[in-house]
Structure 1
């Protein structure tokens, strides 16, 4: 699962702490996760993402829903989003990813659609995830969160990675000016090695333009639950390609994941 949703979330990081390496997890979390990859089953997710700009609250975004598994990992998602402040209304209120398409509705995605149409379909098999920049369903990322942790007290692995570190794990490039930004994280595992939570925090400082901090808390419950994700009724769906050049519907679904930062340049003072 390469993509993770919602317009560029900017975030904060604390100082890098020196400590002894964490002990190995009692249960290998990568192996524990792969055992969950059974078609027709999945996990439920809830999340709160907050941004502050120059110390003032920006956008608060909550996500709830379910992720469906296949033999290789997450293959489907049905997620609902609520936003307050900031860029509220520019992101969809719901997304469904199934098969080779992602369907979205709400906000700017339901403006001026043809009569009877409630969903916009994109030819994009990427699962729309959440505002969390750390994709714990990527085995390389999950391994790094455990192995790079500076402490593991109580089954919570805490550490720091840079944007450059994570971009290498994803196999993607980001703007070099963003590479040194630190992501402080806390990964929670239960006694079976399954992920219960992941928290990330990072800050982008734009000099005289100020700084923006984002904190994202994601929780996972109901591992192994039966999950069925269905596409919306076909008579309510319109393909983006059929909307024409005059549409105000975005050409791409906003992606606030770390992966998207390679396409974004930090603003500079004039």
Structure 2
């Protein structure tokens, strides 16, 4: 009997000792870097809402990011706003190609893609997620400025601070009114330390400084799945591409 009690006590001691190590959070930046392999990427979906006098859904998007060793090498994003024609933007490196949306009736005959400088979010970028957790520098800044509690990181970061570390932010919202606008964010982490969800919000006047946006907040809820999935994003057929945006 005495021997049995000693064995049980030893077993309990092992469990108590092991628990903190198992509960220790994974390093999100290290977890991200482990997924940055050429030909692989991650998928996302998101919804943007304007909150003020009630809630108004501004748009929804879905897309895929393709990685290289440094971060995002290409993206393919489809944006839907109300009942209008969906807009799709493919970006490879620093070049973007946009089709549909407001461009459907404006491009020359036989051309379906508008080639521009790097605007990976297309027109939908102005209402899209300003925080991209697939960028190592961005994620590092968010983790450093934020507070970790369980599986979430919460914090605040300004537009100006985001611009310094995030190519995605600078390209998605190239025109903005107030660089001191604060973005409140919550990152949800998987057990492996990867970001599965990003929720962010900021004063709408930070981008659209008009009286109709006074006191209103833009909120974006993005979900990330399939970290490490195989991805192959290519530019559109050159025969379908134009740089003429019409009138």
TM-score by length of 1: 0.68
Rate the CA distance shift 1:178–1:67 in 2: closer, same or farther, 3 A.
Answer: same
Please tell me whether Structure 1 or Structure 2 has the larger radius of gyration of its CA atoms.
2
Task: Please provide the CA RMSD for this pair.
Answer: 3.1
**Cα distance in 2, alignment partners of residues 76 and 227 from structure 1:** 10
Aligned residue runs from structure 1 range 154-233, under 5 A = 155-170=151-166, 178-204=178-204, 210-233=214-237
Could you tell me which residue of structure 2 aligns to residue 76 of structure 1? Answer: 74
Tell me if structure 2 keeps the 8 A contact 1:45–1:64: yes
- SS of 1:178 mapped into structure 2: coil
Q: 1:32-77 CA deviation, whole Å, 9 max, x = no partner?
A: 111111111111111111123x424445211112111112211111
**Cα distance in 2, alignment partners of residues 229 and 176 from structure 1:** 29
Could you tell me which residue of structure 2 aligns to residue 32 of structure 1? Answer: 31
Tell me if structure 2 keeps the 8 A contact 1:74–1:127: no
Could you tell me which residue of structure 1 aligns to residue 240 of structure 2? Answer: 236
Long gaps (5+) in structure 2: 1-23
Q: 1:95-127 CA deviation, whole Å, 9 max, x = no partner?
A: 1112552111112212232222111112x2464
Structure holding more helix per residue: 2
Tell me if structure 1 keeps the 8 A contact 2:45–2:222: yes
The reply on whether 1:93 has 2:87 as its aligned counterpart is yes
The reply on whether 1:50 has 2:49 as its aligned counterpart is yes
Could you tell me which residue of structure 2 aligns to residue 17 of structure 1? Answer: none
Long gaps (5+) in structure 1: 1-24, 249-270
Rate the CA distance shift 1:95–1:167 in 2: closer, same or farther, 3 A.
Answer: closer
- SS of 2:187 mapped into structure 1: strand
Aligned residues, how many?
212
1:150 to 147, 150, 155: 147
Q: 1:1-38 CA deviation, whole Å, 9 max, x = no partner?
A: xxxxxxxxxxxxxxxxxxxxxxxx72221121111111
Moved more, 58-67 or 39-48: 58-67
Q: Choose between structure 1 and 2 for higher RCO, CA contacts under 8 A separated by at least 6 residues.
A: 1
- SS of 2:75 mapped into structure 1: strand
Cα deviation, residue 149, structure 1: 2.2
- SS of 2:81 mapped into structure 1: strand
